Amino acid sequence: MLKTDFIDVLSVISDKLYESAANVMDTASKMMPANTFCIANLDNLSTTVLKAYNRSKVMLGEGLVVDNKDSYCALVTEHAQGPLIIDNNMTHALTKDMAATQFVGGCSFLGVPIITGDGEMYGSLCAFDHEFYQYQPRDVELLLSLSAFFSTLLELETNIQQLRSAENVASKMLAEKSKLLEVLSHEVRNPMNGVLGMASLLHSTDLTNEQKEYVDVIIKSGSSLLSIMDHILDYSKIEADTLELESSPFLIRDDVNYVLQTFTEESERKDLRLYAEFESGADTILIGDSNKIRQILSNLIGNSLKFTEQGEIGVAVRMRLADGDTVDLTIEVKDTGVGIPKDQKDHLFRAFSQIHDVDTSVKYGGAGLGLAICKRLAEQMGGKVWMVDSSDEGSRFAFQIPLKQLLSSLG
């Protein structure tokens, strides 16, 4: 997907280059002892003076629009097809009878064409002098160099426009894909919830041990499928930039306890200790998107539960005052699981990246989107997520989000 920030940077560069081009033209006007310099653009009907530099006499003004039949720019681009030098416009065959000659008065003239990257005529760079300055080869070379510079600038501008157009198309496709996935998710979720509900009811009936194992597989597989669909749907919304940030008051202690409660059954089933530790400030009323914070925490705890067979999973919550009424909320999740292979640490937070070997990935399942979603959500809220450390004794992940506080109780 094309990124707006990247294209915006190119636009800024383009603007800066245009400013530099104007400065270069100003400098050129001082290097060549002619009175007036201009940059002109023409279409099929008329010529527009985009920029003009006058010394002692105002011969041309910016914004001037003339018909091409009365345009010196048109002479350069349509007749000369290259540098055009006129020693005296009052006597030269091309200009003596033009209305523009009467407008600018008697002068000498030098013009070179500006050609776009695709070979189209854009306009010209021109110099006029009412004292009939005799243009030298170095003057022609100077304007030709400037013309090449402007041609490159125009090519960059065209590329930026093409990138913006491609970005718009890509954004539309992503939005449509996100909508399609949302519809598919709804269509699959309803019958799958029915399957899981019936499987749960079946599990509560009088079954043999072997039948219970079969039902457990149905429940586990169905839950895993729903979780994967949730991740894919969330990631597609993030990519399509359709997720919106909410801003409402919340207590982080309540949200952390809520998330832990959703994993209580699974942690007890695996005989894992699941707990949270809160430093001072946990009862501060914060303003932000608590749902997305819970989602990040849920993904991190879910990963820890997936790869931890014995021991514990702990959540540490701390807050530090930043600037004014802003606090930095940091939540760390540590486990005693299998850890992250050293050669796979660079693949963390990448979409659809399975960081364990094939056998392990098949065993634990997943779409490889959990950490990627955490990263994008944290960044969307102006924060970050990272791996603190990892070994065969376990892993520690953390995320930090800047938030406004409604009522401070930080110590």
Which residues make Cβ contacts (< 8 Å) with residue 11, sequence separation at least 6? 160
Give the end of a domain, one of 103, 133, 164: 164
Q: Is residue 234 part of a domain?
A: no
Same domain, 42 and 157: yes
pLDDT at 301: 93
Do 256 and 382 sit in the same domain of this protein? yes
The answer as to whether 111 is a domain residue is: yes
**Is 136 in the same domain as 276?**
no
User: What CATH number does the domain containing 396 carry?
Assistant: 3.30.565.10
Structure tokens at 7: 């294209």
Instruction: Spell out the residues 6+ positions from residue 1 whose beta carbon is closer than 8 angstroms to its own.
Output: 170, 171, 174, 239
Which of 132, 164, 196 is the C-terminal boundary of a domain?
164
Q: For tokens 């009412």, what's the residue?
A: 130
257 and 394 both lie in a single domain:
yes
Residues 251 and 155 in one domain: no
Residue 63's domain comprises 4-164
- Look at residue 24 in the predicted model and tell me its pLDDT: 67
Judge whether 221 and 256 are in contact, CB under 8 Å. no
Residues 255 and 387 in one domain: yes
For residues 292 and 400, membership in a common domain is answered with: yes
Residue found by looking up tokens 């993904």 in the block = 299
Considering the domain architecture, whether residues 278 and 411 belong to the same structural domain is answered as yes
Q: Is residue 153 part of a domain?
A: yes
Q: Is 227 part of any domain? A: no
On whether both 153 and 284 belong to a single domain, the answer is no
pLDDT of residue 183: 64
Residue 222: name the closest of 205, 239, 207, 202 by CA: 202
- Token digits for 152? 């490159």
> Total domain count for the chain?
2
Q: How many CA atoms lie within 13 A of 62 on its CB side?
A: 7
Q: How far is CA 367 from CA 229, 352, 370, in A?
A: 9, 6, 8
Q: What global pTM score does this model have?
A: 0.49
Q: Residue 346 to residues 120, 304, 384, 387, 390: CA-CA distances in angstroms?
A: 47, 19, 16, 11, 13
Indicate whether 301 belongs to any domain.
Answer: yes
Query: Bridge-partner residues for 391, per DSSP?
Result: 394
Using the 3D structure, point to which of 164, 179, 211 is the last residue of a domain: 164
Nearest CA to 112 out of 127, 93, 128, 133 is that of: 127
Classify residue 262: in a domain, yes or no. Answer: yes
276 and 374 co-located in one domain: yes
Alpha carbon dihedral 182, 239, 352, 390, in 10-degree steps, equals -120
Q: Does 107 map to a domain?
A: yes
Do 270 and 387 belong together in one domain? yes
Q: What is the mean pLDDT of each run of 10 residues along the chain (411 residues)?
A: 48 58 67 86 87 88 89 81 89 92 93 81 89 91 83 70 72 66 65 79 85 81 70 63 80 93 90 92 88 91 90 94 86 91 69 49 51 87 91 91 73 44
* Pair 155, 252 in one domain: no
Question: What's the CATH code of the domain at 58?
Answer: 3.30.450.40
Which pLDDT value is given to residue 38? 86
**What is the spatial distance between Cα 143 and Cα 232, in angstroms, rounded to a whole number?**
56
Residue 29 lies in a domain: yes
3-state secondary structure the chain: CCCHHHHHHHHHHHHHHHHHHHHHHHHHHHHCCCCEEEEEEECCCEEEEEEEEECCCCCCCCCCEEEHHHCHHHHHHHHHCCCEEECCCCCCCCCCCCHHHHHHCCCEEEEEEEECCCCCEEEEEEEEECCCCCCCHHHHHHHHHHHHHHHHHHHHHHHHHHHHHHHHHHHHHHHHHHHHHHHHHHHHHHHHHHHHHHHHHHHCCCCCHHHHHHHHHHHHHHHHHHHHHHHHHHHHHHHCCCCCCCCEEEEHHHHHHHHHHHCHHHHHHCCCEEEEEECCCCCCEEEECHHHHHHHHHHHHHHHHHHCCCCEEEEEEEEEECCCCEEEEEEEEEECCCCCCHHHHHHCCCCCCCCCCHHHHHHHCCCCCHHHHHHHHHHHCCCEEEEEEEECCEEEEEEEEEEEEEECCCC
